[in-house]
Amino acid sequence: MRHKCETIEIGTHTCILHSEENAKFFLIQPVDSHDTEELEQQITYIEKNTQLPFVHLAIRISKWNAELTPWTAPPVFGKIPFGDGASNTLLYIKEQLLPEINSRYPLNTHKSNTLLGGYSLAGLFALWAAYQPDIPFKGIASASPSAWYTGWLDYAETHQPQVEHAYLSLGDKEEKTKTKLMKTISKDILRQEQLLKEKGVNCKMEWNEGNHFQDNGVRIAKGFLWLMQQ
């Protein structure tokens, strides 16, 4: 691995930083414990498939159901409902994370070289962020996103995306679930793809083999790689 890895505190979050000199891209990704376990594989996959130098910033999210969703919704698993903390997480990225990175690296972060990605609920967060005003991202990678989230497609249909590029992906077995709300995920993500393209976004949709819990790191790596090539 050609990247230096370190864990640092930036503002209100712990971040895992994979960095190399002369970075051309800044890849930002909210992560949970499972994503963290896959980070080494993910970074290695990106390295093997591009010579473009980059910095990857993994933001540890402690309250997954609260910090990544844009509005409240009933719980799907267990008793923990979804919260409305997505706006605070985006504000953290804009006001704490990016200024700190700007102070560490000579290549200033700006919209043309800053990319946001996420898996599962973090993928939904990336989608939601793509529709917000004054975002610092040229593109987003949304792997196996929770596009089934209550009210999400209604939101996407009535708002204009603010990014130039969007990468979507899904496992071909993800809709085979006992959870009724998630059974529509294939239809939901295809509708999301259609909406992005209709509103002028350069969008790629990719299907992967397997269910929701398979090859997470590689799947999000593919998304970042595609964005870096646009």
Q: What is the pLDDT of residues 58-109, one digit of tens each?
A: 999 999 999 999 999 988 877 889 999 999 999 999 999 999 988 888 666 6
Residue 64 sits at φ, ψ, to 5 deg, of: -55, -45
CB 32 within 8 A of CB 118: no
Q: What is the pLDDT of residues 149-193, one digit of tens each?
A: 999 999 999 999 999 999 999 987 776 766 556 668 889 999 999
Q: How confident is the model over 11-39, as a mean pLDDT?
A: 94
Q: At what angle do helices 216-228 and 39-49 cross, to 10 degrees?
A: 40
Question: Which stretches of 11-164 are assigned E, i.e. beta strand?
Answer: 13-19, 25-31, 54-60, 114-119, 139-143
CB contact set of 109 (below 8 Å; sequence gap of 6+): 26, 98, 101, 102, 136
Domains assigned to the chain: 4-228 (3.40.50.1820)
Q: Return the pLDDT at 215.
A: 83
CB 175 within 8 A of CB 184: yes
